[in-house]
Amino acid sequence: MIRFELPQHPPLADLLEALKAQPKAPVIIEVPEGWCYQIQRGAPPGGWRASLLETLRPGLFPEAMEALHWDEEIGEDGAWRVWAMAQTRLDAALGEFSGPLWSQGRLVRLRPAGQGEEGLAAFPNLAPRGHRARRIPWRRLRRLAQRIGPALLVLLLLGSVGLRLRRNWNRLQAQVRSEELAIQRMDQQVQADRSALAILRGQASRGQQAPIWLSDLDALTRLLPEDTRLVKLEWTPQGLLLDLLTPHPERIQEILEASPEFKGVRFVGNLDRQGELSRLTLQCQSEGER
């Protein structure tokens, strides 16, 4: 980057040497503030519109806008600020060095002395329009960030919460489908057991003696409530082992203890809560084992 200050400090010959040595480097030239026009107008009701600015610009300065290099900005306070400098003033100061400065499409920042800088694109820049770096409205972006920052943060938080809720909902739906499939499989098993019981009862009615396990199944079919499901039924040397899924585990033990078909009913292992249902294991002695 090449920095230079008019009038002729350092000599313009030094500027020419710097331009030759750094053909692609951007140039910052400071001119006396007295060389420039500066206009400031407060915001009208409703703020500044592009059409209103277009109407007011031609009457701001003694020269026509075509003979000026100018820059403008709407400040944070809503005021319209315009800087301008005559091309003739710039040509008189640069003289024969004006041509090399504007050649090769070099980026130039021409600013009044003492104005702060925020990079090459900051306000003001009185260089010809074709030689300016792309203008980045830093102040406008900061104001916009201050306005939408809290709302954007809320939206991001809501989006994060919504995404978490959607994931939890999908996980819950998958769990419900899994439980429904398990219940369907248990219902199918119960139906199969009932069909087998019906066949065995038919055999018993024809004079064939039913085995002990058939008597136990028949008793359990009559005693267990409709909302109770047998997950597993096992005959062991210690007695009958029942693995049940039911909404009222205490009542199941009472029902079996009160029946004439079973005795010595007791819980085995821990009670496992699964939503509104409880899974428990009971052990008892059947009548056939007495």
Convert the pLDDT of each residue in 9-19 to its tens digit.
667 778 778 88
Q: What is the mean pLDDT of residues 56-72?
A: 90
Could you tell me the CATH number of the domain that includes residue 44? 3.30.420
Using 50, 70 and 90 to split pLDDT, how confident is the model at 204?
Answer: low
Using 50, 70 and 90 to split pLDDT, how confident is the model at 170?
Answer: confident
Could you tell me the CATH number of the domain that includes residue 253? 3.30.1360.100
- Of the residues 136, 151, 172, which one is the last residue of a structural domain? 136
Which of 56-65, 132-141, 220-229, 232-241 is modeled with the greatest confidence?
A: 56-65
Counting DSSP H helices and E strands in the chain, the numbers are: 7, 10
Q: What is the mean pLDDT of residues 246-250?
A: 85
Using 50, 70 and 90 to split pLDDT, how confident is the model at 37?
Answer: very high
Q: Cβ distance 183 to 229 under 8 Å?
A: yes
User: How do residues 93-105 score in pLDDT, each as one tens digit?
Assistant: 887 777 777 777 7
pTM for this entry: 0.46
What is the model's pLDDT at position 165? 84
Q: Does residue 108 lie within any of the structural domains?
A: yes
Give CA–CA dist 280/265, Å, rounded: 12
What is the model's pLDDT at position 95? 79
Q: What residues contact 128, with CB distance under 8 A and at least 6 apart?
A: 69, 102, 108
**Sheet containing 37-41, strands listed edge to edge, beginning at the edge strand earlier in sequence:** 37-41, 80-86, 68-74
Burial 44-73 (b: 16+ CB within 10 A, else e): eeeebeeeeeeeebeebbeeeeeebbbbbb
Using 50, 70 and 90 to split pLDDT, how confident is the model at 240?
Answer: confident
Peptide bond into 10 cis (omega under 30): yes
What is the model's pLDDT at position 96? 76
Q: Does residue 170 lie within any of the structural domains?
A: no
When the pLDDT of each residue in the chain is averaged and rounded to a whole number, the result is: 81
Q: Does residue 161 lie within any of the structural domains?
A: no
- Of the residues 136, 168, 197, which one is the last residue of a structural domain? 136
Which range marks the domain in which residue 237 is found? 211-289
Q: How many domains would you assign to the chain?
A: 2
Q: What residues contact 193, with CB distance under 8 A and at least 6 apart?
A: 217, 221, 230
- Of the residues 136, 155, 181, which one is the last residue of a structural domain? 136
Q: What is the mean pLDDT of residues 247-269?
A: 85
What is the model's pLDDT at position 39? 92
- Count of CB atoms within 10 A of residue 222's CB? 9
